[in-house]
Structure 1
Amino acid sequence: MLILLVRAEATLQMAPYATTKLSSKGQVVIPEDVRNDLGLSEGDQFVVIGQGDAVILKVITPPKLEEFQKLLSRARAEAKRLGIKKADVKSAIAKVRRRAK
């Protein structure tokens, strides 16, 4: 089984490896050297992907406030261009939530 931990800005390269094991609670400890090399901190979140005999942990890096504001501004402009109203968005969200139940 392969466990791969990546950051978005990191380039994939072979690095020294360490071993770890799965606890009875399903927890895996990421070795300290790896945490330090990747700048990981307590509370960091990951997307976990299982494929074949590999487990991939992808660090979730939230966008910076400036990036989020730019994205929000573009989304609002596109919604306005398409004539989408707040009521349309609320209705679409309610529809998806009903389907999820």
Structure 2
Amino acid sequence: MSLSTTRLSSKGQVVLPGEVRDRLGLRTGSRFIVIADGDTVILKLLKPPTAGELQGLLARARAEARKAGVMGKDISRAVRRVRRSA
């Protein structure tokens, strides 16, 4: 863990120290969840899921759909209904 200080700019921007950016591999456009709790602000780095993680999520979703009796045609029908109402 490292400790440093920074300031809030007039535009509401906070500069993260270079050491922190380098250690975490942060780049321009890195996205964060901002959590405010009392006088504490937490920035949590959002990392996109890996291909393997996505495949795992899809496999679990398919298994749950099978258990619930949801078929591919049911999903296609629901998508068409939503697209028509949009």
Same fold (TM over 0.5): yes
Q: 1:89 to 1:44 in 2, by over 3 A?
A: farther
Q: Which runs of 5+ in 1 are unaligned?
A: 1-12, 95-101
Map 1:1-101 to 2 at 5 A: 13=1, 15=2, 17-84=3-70, 85-86=74-75, 90=79
Q: Which runs of 5+ in 2 are unaligned?
A: none
Superposed CA RMSD: 2.0
Q: Which runs of 4+ in 1 moved over 3 A?
A: 87-91
TM-score (norm. length: structure 2) = 0.76
- Relative contact order: is structure 1 or structure 2 higher (C-alpha 8 Å, sep ≥ 6)? 1
- Percent identity (aligned): 50
Report the Cα distance in structure 1 between the residues aligned to 2:50 and 2:24, rounded to whole angstroms: 19
1:18 shift after superposition: 2.2
Between structures 1 and 2, the one with greater helix share: 2
Aligned length: 78
Report the Cα distance in structure 1 between the residues aligned to 2:49 and 2:58, rounded to whole angstroms: 12
TM-score (norm. length: structure 1) = 0.66
